[in-house]
Structure 1
Amino acid sequence: CTYYTIKPSLPLSQVKGQCQKGIPASVRAKGWPLLCGAKDRKEKNDKLYERLVKAPDHQGWTDIIKRDTDRQFPFHEMFQSKDGHGQKDLLEVLKAYTQYRPDEGYCQAQGPVAAVLLMNMPAEEAFWCLVQISELYLPGYYSPLLEGVLFDAAFLSSIFKKLCPAAHKHLQNQGVEPLMFATDWLMCLYSRHLPFDTLLRVWDLFFCYGVRVLFQVAVVLVRRCLGEGRLRKECDGQMETLERLRGVKQRVQHEQADAFIHEVILLIISAHLNKGLFTP
């Protein structure tokens, strides 16, 4: 369950309705931290972020993070310059996380997640949202053994079997496991795989409903890639199938966000009617 279901400050039905419609861009900087509990964590840990940023890096993560900062959304104006505030804030947020969770350190997949957060809010709020994502929403996703994401990626197979059986059969016939393509989808919260407007709408739902939204998006994407017979015929081998799934952004880049999100919401409703459908 999400933080908001534990500590609601508005009627939950009203919040869900707004998240399904899409949180206005001007409100996301406050809305996401409120939904996930980052606002509360920040208030309870006043000045901690500042101390983490200034703390000496005894584990050597800073140099490793620096190699990745210019790879995150290089065409976005925030991250184009090495001396710009975007790359600086990204380095600080990721470095602060390694200080906050030295047992986990830095995971590359956190880079694009932190970058999307920074496009929508200041660095300190982005840090606490990253903490909540890593600890509350996706525990074990960014740990050294990746046990959380490996479990969830494997669980996707049973979901595909129920909701897109023809695509699931094709994956089995071609020897393609969800672990081979969906791990990156889940760890990056689709930040590399969806058009930006659609991505933000998916994150609105994710912060409201939790990890099951990531499973539901996976179903929609697999349907887009392999849902029709002609699409499956185009992928007549393991390599072709994996290329299609890993290049999924090309299948949805011209699709309106509303149409994509509508299909995800239908799966949310289906999950409500069929308890346990998206629960490992």
Structure 2
Amino acid sequence: MHSSAPRSPLAANEQASGAATDIQAAADAHRQREVRWMALLPAVSPSQARKNKKVRRLLQDGVPSSLRYLVWCHLTDSKARALPGVYTKLGKRPRVPAFMEIEKDATRCFPDQPQLHNTNGPIASLLQAYLSMVPDIQYSPALASIAGHLLLLAPEEDAFWIFASVMDAHLRSYFSSSTIQIEVDAALLSKAVEFNDPALHKKLYVSLQMAPASITRPWFSSLFVGTLPVDHLHRIWDIFLYEGMPFLFRVGLAVIHCVRRLLLQATSEESVLESLTHPPVACLPSSADDLLSLCFSMKLKDDDVRKQRVKMEAQVRRQTQARTHATIGMPSRQTKSISLPRS
């Protein structure tokens, strides 16, 4: 039996040199992105950031981890919403009914991040403040997931105002007493699946008779926290905060595409949901940027999604109100939506 030839010291040195060069190139690219972002952020007002093509190009090129939360502040215009002293005052209000549940969910969602779920930890504090400010919101563990992920990157009060901005701009209707918006988005995603993959649509929605919302709710209400690896999730949020809700449909279609084989083999709704909410890492693109490319390759017209969301939401709301009036005989009372502390 012949032994393998000893490795040449020259070859080993060349390999080490090549690896060092790659590391240096990555570091240089990171610094260049930092410089470009640091030049752009002061030049583009937050209120105009989501309309700026330079911002979009830089987002697609990548966001340095060192600046990510500042970029998110910019995209959500959260600094404009921040009222001095309000967060502290909200935290002093009586505990919301869901407080103990929030603490449990914080521990369950982030078991490896004890700094997030200590007694009166930042997740509980942030959601205590938000739920006392917006009392018509119904608590869900998805809120703890989103809040916790923000708190991994941003200081607590900054995370609160980003959270409030994202909720108001995109997600608040998901957590109201009415589930109209999630039902609308679930129906739209079902149609998008049918357009992109008729065979898979038939398997999920006809053969297994899955309710569309059972697929959409765990994704959209948590912004894919817990579904995607952290690096992938960061890049998804980078683009989502610029593009808005239609991009979540693209992400959903991309995840479905990644686990298509598992879904076609599935024999139960439970196995489908497991593959969709916890896709095997081996099924996902190896890099976050490859996942973004896959998302943008999905057949979907973003403007159509925006128009259909408004149209279908109004239609479903009219139907719901008609049923309510027929049953009760009078309109339901509206809950007070915002409760800010007095100065």
TM-score range, shorter chain: 0.7 to 0.9
How far apart are 1:77 and its partner, in Å? Answer: 5.7
Aligned-pair Cα RMSD in Å: 2.6
Is 1:21 the counterpart of 2:61? The answer is yes
- Match for 2:73 among 13, 23, 33? 33
The aligned counterpart of 2:100 is 63
Q: 8 Å contact 1:37–1:132 — kept in the other structure?
A: yes
How far apart are 1:15 and its partner, in Å? Answer: 0.7
Is 1:211 the counterpart of 2:211? The answer is no
Is 1:104 the counterpart of 2:137? The answer is yes
| Pairs aligned (count) | 264
The aligned counterpart of 1:50 is 88
The aligned counterpart of 1:126 is 159
Output the amino acid matched with 2:250: Q
Structure 1 residues 177 and 5, CA, compared in 2 at 3 Å: closer, same or farther?
Answer: farther
- TM-score in terms of structure 1 length: 0.84
Is 1:242 the counterpart of 2:270? The answer is no
User: Is 202-211 or 4-13 further displaced after alignment?
Assistant: 4-13
The aligned counterpart of 1:180 is 214
Is 1:157 the counterpart of 2:190? The answer is yes
Q: Using the alignment, how far apart are the partners of 1:21 and 1:14 within structure 2?
A: 11
Is 1:266 the counterpart of 2:297? The answer is yes
Gaps of 5+ in 2: 1-43, 310-343
Q: Which protein, 1 or 2, shows the higher relative CO under an 8 Å CA cutoff with sep ≥ 6?
A: 1
The aligned counterpart of 1:144 is 177
Q: Using the alignment, how far apart are the partners of 1:215 and 1:9 within structure 2?
A: 22
- Match for 1:82 among 115, 118, 123? 118
Structure 1 residues 37 and 276, CA, compared in 2 at 3 Å: closer, same or farther?
Answer: same
User: Is 17-26 or 116-125 further displaced after alignment?
Assistant: 17-26
SS of the residue corresponding to residue 163 of structure 2 reads: helix
User: Is 26-35 or 257-266 further displaced after alignment?
Assistant: 257-266
Q: Using the alignment, how far apart are the partners of 1:246 and 1:82 within structure 2?
A: 27
Output the amino acid matched with 2:59: C
Gaps of 5+ in 1: none
Q: Using the alignment, how far apart are the partners of 1:241 and 1:29 within structure 2?
A: 34
How far apart are 1:74 and its partner, in Å? Answer: 1.1
The aligned counterpart of 2:339 is none
Q: 8 Å contact 1:222–1:245 — kept in the other structure?
A: yes
- What are the Cα deviations for residues 83-104 of structure 1, in whole angstroms up to 9, with x where unaligned? 5xxx711111010011110121
Identity of aligned residues (%): 26
Q: 8 Å contact 1:137–1:211 — kept in the other structure?
A: yes
Structure 1 residues 255 and 37, CA, compared in 2 at 3 Å: closer, same or farther?
Answer: same
Q: 8 Å contact 1:153–1:183 — kept in the other structure?
A: yes
Output the amino acid matched with 1:187: S
- What are the Cα deviations for residues 165-213 of structure 1, in whole angstroms up to 9, with x where unaligned? 2221221222123312221011110001001000000000110011111
